Structures are given as C-alpha cells and as structure tokens.
Amino acid sequence: MKRDYYEVLGISRSASKDDIKKAYRKLAMKYHPDKNPGDSDAEEHFKEVNEAYEVLSNDDKRRRYDQFGHAGVGSSAASGGGAYGAGSGDFGDIFSAFSDMFGGGARSGGGSPFDFEEVFGGGFGGGQRRQRSSTGLRGGDLKIRLKLTLEEIAKGVEKTLKIKKQVPCEVCSGTGSKTGELETCSTCQGTGEVRQASKTMFGQFVNITACPTCGGEGRIVKDRCTSCHGEGIKQGDTTVKVNIPAGVEDGNYLTLRGQGNAGPRGGSNGDLIVVIEEASHKLFVRRGDDVIYNLPLGYPDMVLGSKVEVPTLEGRVKLTVPPGTQPNTMLRISGKGIGHLKSPGRGDHLVRVNVYIPKDLSHRDKELLKEMKKSGHLVPDEKTDHEKSFFEKARDIFG
C-alpha cells in the first residue's frame, strides 16, 4: 500500500510550493544513501520522498494526485515500455544536471532543487506513456542500450545511433486526417474524461474514466488518413547523435528530451532514454575511475627491479618496477585512467605486480634454481619474514 505523498513529506494538503521544497530538502538529506550507506530502510524512504516530491512539486501532477490519488499520477507505470522494457528503477539519471545539454527545455519531472552528486535510482521516468497534453497524446518513451568500450568511456565519445521509432506520417502531416481536420469529441466535449456520479451509503463518489469515444484524446479524426490509419504516426528510421561524457558507468542513462516516439496526431514527442552498458575489457578491470592491469613478472625481475612496458587505455607506457617489489604491489601511473564525470581530471592506471611461477622447467633451469636455493638469503627467515610478509600483504590489501 502506497503512503500518501503529503504524509510522506510531513506537510498539509494546503502546503505551498516553498513548504514542499523545504520538507523535501530536509528529508532527502536525512535519508540520502550517502549518509546511510547500506541501510535499505533509508533507501526506501529516500525513494519514497523523491517520488512524493516529483509529484507534489509539479502543479499538473499535484492537481491530478489531489483529484485521483496515486492512480492519477500513474506512479505504478515505472516499468514503461521501451524497446527493452527494462524497469527504470535500476538506473541513476546522473545526467539530470546535464539535461539542458540534451535539450527539450524543462524536465517533466519537476527536477530536484539541488543536484545530488550521487548516482542513484530515481525510479520514475519512462512512465506515463499516453499522457494527455494540450496538443493531444504524448508519444512513448524509447529506451535503447548503448554498449561502450572502456576506451570510449575513458575520454567520452560522440555516437550516432540508428533508431527505429514512430515518426509523423508524411501523407497527413501527422494529423491522422485526410483533410487535416479534427473534430472535438461530443461525448466528452473535448476533455477526454467521462464522469459518473454514484451515491453510496458513504456519500457521493465521482468516478472518472477515459472517454470511450475518443480514447481520452478529446478529439476525433473525421476522415482517417489511409496511410497511417488515422494515427498520424508510422514506424520510421532516424539517426540521433549523442555525446557521452567521460566517466559514465554501466546502468547510467541519459535522457534526450523529445527524441522518442512522435505523439499521435500532432501530440508531443516522447523521450529517448539511452542506457549505458560497459563492455568488459580483455586486459583491464575498472575500479571507479581507475583501471587495474595485472602484470605477471618473473622472480628475478621482482627481486632485482626491471623496466617494463605495460598496456594502458592509450597504448603502451614504460614502467619501472623497483628492486625488492613484493607480490600484489600496486604501481600507479597517474592520470592514465578514466576521466571523471563530474570534475576535471582523470583516474589512474594501476599495475598490480605478481610473481610469475613457471610450470615447465628445463633441467638447466632446475639446476639454477637449486643453486639459488643454497644461498640462505633467497628464502624467508621463519622468525622474522613470515610475520613481516603478512603485514605487508595486509597493507597492500587495505592500504
């Protein structure tokens, strides 16, 4: 059972916009996942608070909520139907701060009064597909996945996406009508809604449903365009250019306002939601904005030190392994990692050095190793070195 949004924010139904903002700010700070790491209760509260704010901060949504409750704002529609139908709850729209860049004007979600620096699942977006607006029905949102290599993510990349989506019908210019004329629906007088009052012992209830004649649109097509069957839209191909900033992560998405499906009969466009997928890399593992590479080295190179070449995201780089390097040591090549998403600069390239233990040895190799073993300095001293190596390992792991 969903809690009442006013109750969630702890405000009265007559609260002003300012009151709503203040209440939201306070609660969002309190339950922010940054302040409550690993606390799933806080996370739930945080989502609930965000959802409540998303609705109550938007005049139109608030009005619908006041009138129809949760059903009026379609808050259960979060698993909207993009091409892949993924729920939006798993993604963080870290790009809300960038949304101006991606065009389309004001965010329909009301936006947050301050930018969370966090990547965190918002859980709303992608929802209401057949929203009414002054220009008719809104087109559906499209969700596409975009797979990027670590190299692309490191520096950011511009991609041209080929997309199949609904575009306005060119025969009727998107009106759905041969003559281009639409008639106001007489059943609902253009409101798109039908009200039925019923009296019960608890009082009078008004039941509001979408108009069955016009399907909630408020208008009727007089003579349907035969090319699009009166819909005003048809399937088409299009290309979209999108600039991906450096430092994005798997599951991040960006919203291109108005780049989704065209709305039926001149309705506004839906959004295009591009979900980032990170391709796994042959050589590297990503850790935040750092990149880890495992380098196996022969025992003599670790003991005596050595100069090696290691691969990075930008080609090979020379690296000095100092004498006496211990297994699991991380050597750092700074500034060769992934560009930070929200600040200038880049992460580092980390090289984890490990001993290479060969399995197939020639007779001569074996003789040499046996000879080495005879020197007492090449094997650990049980009293001092065992303890030391334990602490060194711990330092490498936790340090």
Q: Footprint of Zn ion on this chain (CB under 5 A)?
A: 169, 171-172, 185, 187-188, 211, 213-214, 225, 227-228
CB 75 within 8 A of CB 4: no
| H or E element that contains 391 | helix 385-398
CB atoms within 10 A of CB 77: 15
- Rounded least distance, CB 64 to Zn ion, Å: 18
Smaller CB distance to Zn ion: residue 94 or 185?
185
- Rounded least distance, CB 136 to Zn ion, Å: 12
- Rounded least distance, CB 3 to Zn ion, Å: 34
- Rounded least distance, CB 259 to Zn ion, Å: 21
Smaller CB distance to Zn ion: residue 150 or 214?
214
Is the alpha carbon torsion for 198, 202, 204, 206 positive or negative? negative
Smaller CB distance to Zn ion: residue 8 or 228?
228
- Rounded least distance, CB 257 to Zn ion, Å: 25
- Rounded least distance, CB 140 to Zn ion, Å: 18
| Residues sharing a CB contact under 8 Å with residue 51, sequence separation 6 or more, in sequence order | 5, 8, 75, 123, 124
- Rounded least distance, CB 60 to Zn ion, Å: 20
Distances (CA, A) of 136 to 14, 68, 180, 268: 30, 21, 14, 7
Report how far residue 356's alpha carbon sits from residue 325's, in angstroms, rounded to the nearest whole number: 13
Give the SS3 label for residue 143: strand
- Rounded least distance, CB 132 to Zn ion, Å: 11
Distances (CA, A) of 201 to 197, 217, 368: 13, 34, 99
Smaller CB distance to Zn ion: residue 48 or 217?
217
Beta strands in the chain (DSSP E): 132-133, 136-137, 142-148, 157-168, 182-184, 193-200, 203-210, 219-221, 233-244, 253-256, 272-278, 284-287, 290-298, 306-312, 315-321, 329-333, 349-356
| Burial environment of residue 175 by CB neighbours within 10 A (0 to 12, 13 to 18, 19 or more) | buried
Report how far residue 48's alpha carbon sits from residue 46's, in angstroms, rounded to the nearest whole number: 5
Report how far residue 190's alpha carbon sits from residue 175's, in angstroms, rounded to the nearest whole number: 16
Q: Which of 249, 255, 325 is nearest to 290 (CA)?
A: 249
The two tokens of residue 325 are 């390097």
- Rounded least distance, CB 188 to Zn ion, Å: 3
- Rounded least distance, CB 213 to Zn ion, Å: 4
Smaller CB distance to Zn ion: residue 171 or 295?
171
Torsional class of 21: left (φ above 0), alpha (ψ -120 to 50), beta (otherwise): alpha
Alpha-carbon dihedral angle through residues 147, 149, 154, 159, given to the nearest 10 degrees: -50
CB 114 within 8 A of CB 123: no
CB 293 within 8 A of CB 284: yes
